[in-house]
Copies of this chain bind each other. A is one copy, B any other.
Amino acid sequence: MKARVTVTLKTGVLDPQGKAIEGALKSLGIAGVGSVRQGKVFDIELDGADKAVAEEALKAACEKLLANTVIENYRVELQA
């Protein structure tokens, strides 16, 4: 089973990396860019076919390692 986990900063948390990218895009002349925020994505291949088990394992993975839940949100998507 394949899954994609997306980790993004919570609203209100400063994102200096995103700000830097925003500045770089503007100085490259890309028109119409407002704000940029950067996050991470993890493409995870899982053994087993049970969706509930997989979701549970991924949630544990996010809480323990992939996301800092103080400042980050995560979203788990299972892809068949």
Contact = CB atoms under 8 A, between A and B. Distances in A.
Interface of A: 6, 8, 18, 21, 24-25, 28, 30-48, 53-54, 57, 60-61, 64-66
A33 to B, nearest CB: 6
B46 A34 contact: yes
Given A21-B66, A66-B21, A61 B33 contact: yes
Given A25-B65, A65-B21, A65-B24, A42 B32 contact: no
Nearest to A43: B37
A39 B36 contact: no
Question: What 6 A-B pairs are tightest by C-beta distance, nearest first?
Answer: A34-B45, A39-B41, A32-B47, A35-B45, A37-B43, A41-B41
